[in-house]
Amino acid sequence: MACLAAGAAAAVTPSGHAVAAHEGCAPEASGTRRQTVTDVTTTDLDAQVGVMVQEVLRRSRLSAPEDLGRMVAEEGRRIGLDSLVVFLVDYEQRTLVPVPSPDAGERKPLSISGTLAGRAFASAVILDVEDDFGHGRRLWLPLLDGTERIGVVRLTIAGDRPAPEPLLTACERYAHLIALLVVSKSAYTDFFERLRRTSPMTLGSELIWELVPPLVLASEGLVLSALLEPCYDIGSDAFDYAFNHGVLHFAVFDAMGHGLGAAGMSSRALSAYRHSRRAGDGPAATYAAIDAALAGQEELASRFVTALIAELEFATGELRWVSAGHPAPLLLRDGKLVKTLEVAPSPPLGLGLASGPPVEGREALQSGDMVLLYTDGLTEARRPGGELFTAERLGEFIEREAVSGRAAPEILRRMREAIIERGAGALNDDATAVLVEWQRGSERLLLPDTA
């Protein structure tokens, strides 16, 4: 069973990956003799990594999803890995769940809070520590699909010194390949999906999670991250984004009501949004297209969706947006909430009440700016004393986290933890947030040093 315990401090690797920490778990039996790290020269490593990758790709074509953990561990022996265990993050981003394999054994889920595994996940760093009994090294690496955190990988190697830099780099690239395999195989299996769930999911949640994009998008000078809660009981909220030809398109939706009917309304709005966006429409034209698509459905009479539809010109930092009866975005600059991006709201989508084109807001962003879109479920969360969380408190939380140097994905994960886990608030409705960072440099925080 995985846990934390006191132990000897690790030496620091040439790039500063190692930390003085200990996992406190008994090492797995190594089984048959593998090639150790000391047996591998730098010249040999490149060739062995090439063979390992080729074999993984060959075997993965016809392998069953449940064989992935065993397959990547077996092929990792080629570069001196004594064991390899893949952990996937659960939907609430509270625990890391082991993917079954011989190396995983009966290992239990690990908490993200207070563990080495959690630190590797939250900070996207590679940790190299001595194992519990001084018989080798234990490495923790983030499992990244591009820049989206989907879990961690735990490796063990022989030797009493920190892993050499070439091996760390090879292991980081291997973890990236494993993440890509998990994501690609998830398209036609429920195996990984079931591992990630710690509670039953409602029908509305099933619908919304199948429609929304990944929670993280990052490019040079740009990071977008999203939060969608309560993750197992979403009833009305959704978000979407796309980065096309230097323009970031993003939006949040909040349908009236809760449950499958409301989720269906949000899904129709999201589909109409994508249809209009892919036709090249801007925020104002997209508003009109979604409103017309929803208002034309008789079965949706009296139902509506509030929304915030935005575009960001990456090269210039010009932000454009329209509001369909939705809370105004928050603008943070130099780590401070500087203003609410107000614009005259148009009627909610689906009512067909607009008397003309929506008013389009415009704002020139400065390097380092952060823009937060959210639904009212966040600001209506109740604090322990009963008072509302409010937009001001939401901004204050982002301020504190931004000053600490965290990137958008970890800021939102900690926001969820603060509101739901630590009792700073209690959700009374769906709560969705989309946090965009422009020219802040935080995209590098999403990658390990070897990337």
3-state secondary structure the chain: CCCCCCCCCCCCCCCCCCCCCCCCCCCCCCCCCCCCHHHCCHHHHHHHHHHHHHHHHHHHCCCCHHHHHHHHHHHHHHHCEEEEEEEEECCCCCEEEECCCCCCCCCCCEECCCCHHHHHHHHCCCEEEECCCCCCEEEEEEEEECCEEEEEEEEEECCCCCCCHHHHHHHHHHHHHHHHHHHHHHHHCCHHHHHHCCCCCCHHHHHHHHHCCCCEEEECCEEEEEEEECCCCCCCEEEEEEEECCEEEEEEEEECCCCHHHHHHHHHHHHHHHHHHHCCCCHHHHHHHHHHHHHCCHHHCCCCEEEEEEEEECCCCEEEEEEECCCCCEEEECCEEEEECCCCCECCECCCCCCCCCCCEEEECCCCCEEEEECHHHHCCECCCCCECCHHHHHHHHHHHHHCCCCHHHHHHHHHHHHHHCCCCECCCCEEEEEEEECCCHHHHHCCCCC
- Looking at residue 85, which CATH number applies to its domain? 3.30.450.40
Provide the pLDDT for residue 427: 65
**What is the token pair recorded at 216?**
């993280």
How many domains does the chain divide into? 2
End-to-end CA distance of the chain: 31
End residue of a domain, out of 177, 194, 211: 194
Query: In terms of domains, do 340 and 390 share one?
Result: yes
pLDDT at 439: 97
Structural domain of residue 311, as residue ranges?
Answer: 201-446
User: Which CATH number covers residue 428?
Assistant: 3.60.40.10
Domain identity same for 350 and 210: yes
- Same domain assignment for residues 124 and 238: no
Has residue 361 been placed in a domain?
A: yes
Same domain, 148 and 284: no
Q: Are residues 146 and 242 in the same domain?
A: no
20 in any annotated domain: no
CA torsion sign for 194, 200, 202, 208 is negative
* Whether residue 185 is found in the same domain as residue 210: no
Please indicate, yes or no, whether residues 424 and 289 belong to a single structural domain of this protein: yes
Flag whether 309 is in a domain.
Answer: yes
Which tokens is 269 given? 């709005």
Among the three residues 179, 194, 209, which one is the final residue of a domain in this structure?
194
In this prediction, residue 301 carries a pLDDT of: 66
Q: What per-residue confidence (pLDDT) applies to 20?
A: 37
Tell me: do 220 and 339 sit in the same domain: yes
The residue behind tokens 């740009």 is: 222
**Structure-token pair, residue 128:** 């190299």
Q: Is 11 inside a domain boundary?
A: no
pLDDT on residue 42: 67
Q: Strands across the sheet with 148-157, in order?
A: 110-111, 95-98, 81-89, 148-157, 137-145, 127-130
Q: Please report whether residue 1 resides in a domain.
A: no
Residues 173 and 128 grouped into a single domain: yes
Assess whether 218 and 166 both reside in one domain: no
Whole-angstrom CA distances from 333 to 12, 119, 434 are: 35, 28, 16
Instruction: Bin 393: left if φ > 0, else alpha if -120 < ψ < 50, else beta.
Output: alpha
Note whether 312 and 186 are same-domain residues.
no
Task: Please indicate, yes or no, if residue 4 is contained in any of the structural domains.
Answer: no
- The rounded Cα 314 to chain-centroid distance in angstroms is 22
Distance set, CA 298 to CA 237, 273, 286 (Å):
22, 19, 21
pLDDT along the chain (451 residues), means of 10: 35 37 37 48 85 97 96 97 97 96 94 96 95 85 97 94 93 97 96 96 95 97 95 92 97 92 93 98 97 82 90 98 96 92 96 94 97 88 66 86 90 86 60 96 92 65
pTM (global) more than 0.75: yes
Q: Does a structural domain hold residue 5? A: no
Q: Is residue 18 part of a domain?
A: no
* Same domain for 43 and 127: yes
Q: Which of 194, 220, 248 is the last residue of a domain?
A: 194
